[in-house]
Amino acid sequence: MKVRITESLDIDLVKELWCCNRCGHELISARLNYKEGCLIRARHPLAVYQPVVEGRPYTFAPDPDWCRIVEFYCPQCGVMLENECLPPGHPITHDIELNLESLKLKHGLHG
């Protein structure tokens, strides 16, 4: 039984796995950070945010000395599951932690 968690991410409550809801690929245990089961790409902010004001020494892109853009993809189909802006050297965030036992009870699964 799969439950939608985000636009592109499901939880398989029986197997206790994070899954891509586009292709069904099983990413990693639902008790871990789903991002650890993704393909990860760190990008330079200027590659993502193009200059808006041409000919000026500044842009609207975040300062690359202060942040990096990190993208998380399904390893099977390549859909982007999440992205975040992090300071260099900062570990990836653990932004979703679910109570699996409560979800199982809510959906009629026991044990």
In this prediction, residue 8 carries a pLDDT of 96
The Cα 56–Cα 107 span in angstroms is 56
Tell me the Cα Rg of the chain. 18
Measured in whole angstroms, how far is the alpha carbon of residue 18 from the centre of its chain?
11
- Name the pTM for this structure: 0.86
* Tens digit of pLDDT at every position of the chain (111 positions): 999 999 999 999 999 999 999 999 999 999 999 999 999 999 988 888 876 777 776 677 788 888 999 999 999 999 999 999 999 889 999 999 999 999 999 999 875
| Stretch (H or E) spanning 105 | helix 100-106
In this prediction, residue 111 carries a pLDDT of 57
Going from N- to C-terminal start, the domains of the chain cover: 2-89+98-106
CA dihedral 46, 70, 73, 81 (to 10 degrees): -100
